[in-house]
Structure 1
Amino acid sequence: MTRDIAKVPGPFAGLSVKLIAAIALVILLVEVAVFLPSLANYRVGWLEDRLRVGGVAVRVFDTVPDVMDLPAEITDPLLQAAGAIAIVYRREGQTDLIGLEAVTMPEQPHLADLRDTNPMRLIVEALDTLVMGGQRTLRIVGVPPGAGDAVVEILMPESPLRADLLTYAGNIVLVSIVIAGVTAFVIYVLAENLLIGPIKRLTNQMLAFRESPENGTLVIVPDAARKDEIGILERALADTQAELFAMLRQRRHLADLGMAVSKINHDLRNMLTSAQLLSDQVANLDDPQVQRLAPRLVTTLDKAIAFAQTVLDYGRQQSAPPRAEPVDLRALGFEAALSAALTGHPRIVFENQVPDDCVISVDPDHLARVLTNLFTNAREALDASPEISSPHVRLSREHTGDGVRLVVADNGPGLPPRARENLFVAFEGSARAGGTGLGLAIVRELVEANGGRVELLATERGTAFAIDLPSGAAAGG
């Protein structure tokens, strides 16, 4: 199976570009949020400036009994200063108007009432002026400073306001882009030195170490001065790589040693087999001393050959993934008992207490090996204890809250302390002299491969192992 080689992203696809783009976008969004009220305030200020000119006209109106008699030499400068075509003055039910003589009054001017200070309305009207304010006539209504309760209306083209708003908006946009760019660049430089740069370095070193994990020079050298999260990550990763490097070296040494032991064990088994054949021939001699020693020799050779064969089988074991399928647990228990030489045993009774309709979902080969190993251990313990009356091995099933539990129990002598201390450890957990301890190691490996757990139960007499399988195994029964 080929493994895809990971690569560090290019300059336009890595964290740097994403970070600077995100920062610039956030700043621009903030600028937009600030820009709209600022635009509305600029428009209001512009309109208030025109309204102040109208206030000057109010004071003129107050000093003249009949506004209509004011000469053009007085009214035209007021109108031109305000950029207006007409000014209307309303007070105490009286309305006065001055306007340019050559201008036709519009029928429906666009209203800009400065007495309404709703912020959302001001923002909407500012945007409306930018989009629609090219050819309209504007009607400004408000109360200028010093005018008391008098209301002044100014009629004027909206195009000068729109032109000034466009200029103001363009300046704001330009300044916003500059601020966003400078801010993003400064933050990027800081982030590059404090965050992105170290992450890139860690990424490159991790990828290099992945390609050659047995190269000790590729182990990360952490920055001892950093006490933040990056420093903690560097030190943790360095420790992990150092442990992995040491483990791989040890694994390679163990693999080489295991290969050598396997070859030695294979040759040793052949020699022991030859010795067994010779011992069989020696056992046929009539010498009384030979007849007395031959059985012990044959027994010793049988144990040595069994030990060598067990080690070879363990070394050749393939860790294939489990394939779960519905299994008749009661029938499988009888098959395992037959393989473990429990069925038909002259002294030991096998009790299969699993119901007839019990079906679980599990790998049948794995579970058969597990039960066979446990049954074999129980049989050997009972065979080695002839003083036990009514020896038996029992298989039972229990339902748990999150799955199913199988219990294999016997009434034998129990496990010695050494076996309990090294339970499920290969070559260490044997309960009898000359054993390899591989049976329980294989049991744990196969049960865990199927998502379960195996444990030794506390009992007053004998030995009991519980196999807990996950909820998916409880198919029925």
Structure 2
Amino acid sequence: MKDQPSVMTGRFSGLSSKLIATIIGVILLVEIVVYLPSLASFRATWLEDRLRVGIVAARVLDAVPDVMALPRNLTDRLLNSAGAHAIVYRREGQSQLIELTDPIIPDVVVTADLRLRDLPTQVLGALDTLFAGPGRTLRVVGAGDTDESLVELLMPETPLRRDMLDYSRSIALVSLGIAAVTAFVLYVLVSRLFIDPVLRMTNNMLAFRKAPENGSLILTPTRRRDEIGILERELADMESDLFSMLRQRRHLADLGLAVAKINHDLRNTLTSAQLLSDQVATLDDPKVQRLAPRLVNTLDRATGFVQSVLDYGRETTTVPQFSSVGLYDLVEDAAFEARVAGHPLVTFQNDIDPELFVDIDPGQMGRVLVNLIKNAREALEAAQTEQAIIAVETRVGDGKLIISVRDNGPGLAPRARAKLFVAFEGSARSGGTGLGLAIAREIVEAHGGTLTLAETGSGTQFDIALPWRGPLD
């Protein structure tokens, strides 16, 4: 017996935790997508602020005829305000340089051209700065305040990277806060609309599975008209039907047990009556000789009916044990068991290809074939058909292997066709129980196939349609 799953009680277990994690993950993913352009914009703004100081320094250079005459403390202040080691001003093919009193020779220089405004370039530059190692020098290039003028700054990259890291931490904290608040609000909303109803139905199904005969556990549906409301109503109807079916099954089981006991006692009584009827049949009285065969036949039919009911009551649902079976030999064995092989009045034709093999349970499918062939023989004997023939053949259609059992008898009456496969009601002959075809249909359906009565102009034909994946030679 499989272990039954425990009832879900945790608020943040199962689907709830997955929902929260998904919401937070999606929000953080969106924040990352937004973060990259924002970081690139922060870097561009930071560099532009330093470049403006370089432009001011360039104006100072324009105002002074001799740059070398500028006081060193003034140039150092200009450079320090821009955070640069040197400023180069280029205009009309001329270049002017301002550098610190103690020039610094950089080891690694990377260029940041602020004239390139496309987003991919800015994002790649921001990521390059963010993940760069220490000690690099940044060469910032930008347009001056006049046409065809250029300003260049040589500055250490470390202050920019430090400010970008501070900015990233701030963005991360804000993003986490937004994600947490948004996830909480969405969770409350989605939980109320979806998670709680699903959790309620899940707990109900698990509890009802443990005690399906407890009517108090049947789900009470809400008035929702959406898909969850439909699911609640369908689940409630299914549980109600299952509750009623289980109670009915218990009553039928009790009734069947009582009938089996009655049949057992009745069979013993009929057996005793048969023995007495056999003794009565040996008497020489003419009236007894005339009535005794009728009495014996009546007792035989009653005994056979009781035995059929007992066999049907003992019939259990057995899973078919599939194996590759030669269909020709199986039909031959069934014909022999049904007392058709060598019959003086009935000709049997086995038109099955001897090389045809099918995946079936030979015991169960052989029982079906015996029943169908036996029914055909009894129908032909009762009708006293001249040149009586029973034939078994196969064909393939719509992905099915169809095994046909047909005879050239008088066929079935319309009344017999209506309830042909209904137990105790589907007998095609007088005195029959109708259990044979009912059991045969159950066996064929357990094989994934169907058993049907084919519409023919004359005679009777039953078709067994089984799943088929191979060629029929």
What TM-score, normalized to structure 2?
0.93
Q: How does 1:58-69 map to 2 (within 5 A)?
A: 58-69=58-69
- The residue matched to 2:349 in structure 1 has which SS? strand
Q: Structure 1 residues 319, 57: closer, same or farther in 2, change over 3 A?
A: same
1:29 maps to a residue whose letter is L
The aligned residue for residue 454 of structure 2 is 457
Letter matched to residue 215 of structure 1: N
Of 416, 434, 448, the residue aligned with 1:419 is: 416
Structure 1: where are the runs of 5+ without partners? none
**2:362 & 2:133 partners in 1: Cα distance?**
83
Quote the residue 2:444 is aligned against. 447
- The residue number in structure 2 matching 1:120 is 120
Residue 127 of structure 2 aligns to which amino acid in structure 1?
Answer: L
1:40-59 maps to which residues of 2 (within 5 A)? 40-59=40-59
Distance 1:52 1:199 in 2: 61
- The runs of 5 or more residues in structure 2 that have no matched partner are none
Distance of 1:392 and 1:431 partners within structure 2: 19
Q: Is contact 2:108-2:136 (8 Å) kept? A: no
CA distance in 2, matches of 1:346, 1:100: 127
Asked if the contact 1:418–1:429 (Cα under 8 Å) also holds between the matched residues in 2, the reply is no
Helix, strand or coil at the partner of 2:461: strand
Counterpart of 2:313 (choices 315, 320, 323) is 315
Instruction: Name the amino acid aligned to 2:226.
Output: D
Structure 1 residues 52 and 368: alpha-carbon distance in aligned structure 2, compared to 1, 3 A threshold: same
Identify the residue that residue 216 of structure 2 maps to in structure 1: 217
Kindly provide the amino acid, as one letter, of the partner of residue 46 in structure 1. W
CA deviations 1:54-112 (Å, max 9, x no partner) are 22222222232222222346434433332333221111111112233244454654322
State the secondary structure of the residue aligned to 1:384: helix
Give the one of 318, 338, 341 matched to 2:339: 341
Q: Deviations over 1:105-144 (max 9, x none)?
A: 5465432221223423322322232333643333221113
How do 1:177-216 and structure 2 match up within 5 A? 177-216=176-215
Distance 1:152 1:415 in 2: 106
Is the 8 Å Cα contact of residues 420 and 428 (structure 2) preserved in structure 1? no
Q: Which amino acid aligns with 2:359?
A: S
Residue 470 of structure 1, CA deviation: 2.1
- The verdict on how the C-alpha distance between 1:127 and 1:359 changes in structure 2, with shifts beyond 3 A counting, is closer
Amino acid at match of 2:428: A
Q: Deviations over 1:397-443 (max 9, x none)?
A: 33445343221111212111121111211111111221111111111
1:355-375 CA-to-partner distances (Å, cap 9, x unmatched) read: 444443322211221111112
TM-score for both structures, normalised by structure 1: 0.93
Task: Supply the distance in 1 between the matched residues of 2:331 and 2:61 (Cα, whole angstroms).
Answer: 115
Match of 1:438 in 2: 435
Cα deviation per residue 1:211-265 (whole Å; 9 max; x = unaligned)?
Answer: 11111111111111x1222111111111111111111111111111111111111
C-alpha distance in structure 2 between counterparts of 1:190 and 1:235, whole Å: 23
Secondary structure in 1 aligned to 2:451?
strand
When the two chains are superposed, the root-mean-square deviation of aligned CA atoms in Å is 2.2
Moved more, 35-44 or 3-12: 3-12
> Residue 324 of structure 1 contacts residue 362 of structure 1 at CA under 8 Å; is this kept in 2?
yes
Instruction: Provide closer, same or farther for how the CA distance between residues 39 and 272 of structure 1 changes in structure 2, counting only shifts above 3 A.
Output: same
Give the percent of matched residue pairs that are identical in Structure 1 and Structure 2. Answer: 57
Match of 2:268 in 1: 270
Q: Quick one: distance in 2 between partners of 1:452 and 1:73? A: 101
Task: Specify the alignment match of 1:396 in structure 2.
Answer: 393
Match of 1:451, SS state, is coil
Aligned-partner residue type, residue 301 of structure 1: L
